[in-house]
Amino acid sequence: MSLVKAQLISNDGGGTIEFMFNPTQLDFSHRINLTKNEGARTGRGLPKVNFAYPEPCTLNISDIVLDTYEESGGKSVLTYIQKFEKAVNFAESGSGKEKRPPTYVFTWGSFQYIRCFITSLSYKLTMFLADGTPVRAKLDLSLEEIDESTSTPGMGSPSQPNRSGDSRGSRLSR
């Protein structure tokens, strides 16, 4: 069995970002919002709560390693970091200023974990050649789930339901 690399795949301008080294951990977070009626209390004195809405799933991937030390000529690792930066700095000004960020699907092997935006990127340069060229880095990414609908704004067409009839679909699919 050959090694399969994790990827962020975009069909709307973000391109494909292949991880140099696979993550060691995927940190998923799910949350719901509740509304509290401060005037209404339970028998124990707690505020009565109602379900408001679910928050999108978030996926945090920490300590993603990028390393170009072994590459010929000591190539800068910044070239690889720029692929991730493009996802969050997609249109700082000019004609693209009002565009939405590229969407991605985080995949690893036959698993499609989450359709998302990259909402946060941070990185540390951790190794340098004698001339100052950065050759190793660690990245942290935060991904936030988005609707799987492929409709354009104003079209009003719903996404296709999955086999169970839920129109949202499953976050994790094979």
**Cα dist. 10→55, 60, 94, 100, 106 in Å?**
23, 18, 22, 13, 9
State the CATH class of domain 6-145: mainly beta
Return the beta strands (E) in 42-164 as ranges.
Answer: 47-54, 58-67, 104-108, 111-128, 134-145
Structural domain spans, the chain: 6-145
Tokens of residue 52, six digits = 């408001």
User: What tens digit of pLDDT does each residue of 13-67 get?
Assistant: 788 999 999 999 999 999 998 888 777 888 888 888 888 888 999 999 999 999 9
Residue 12 pLDDT grade (very low, low, confident, very high; cuts 50, 70, 90): confident
pLDDT band at 150 (very low <50, low <70, confident <90, very high): very low
- On the question of pLDDT at 83 being above 70, the answer is yes
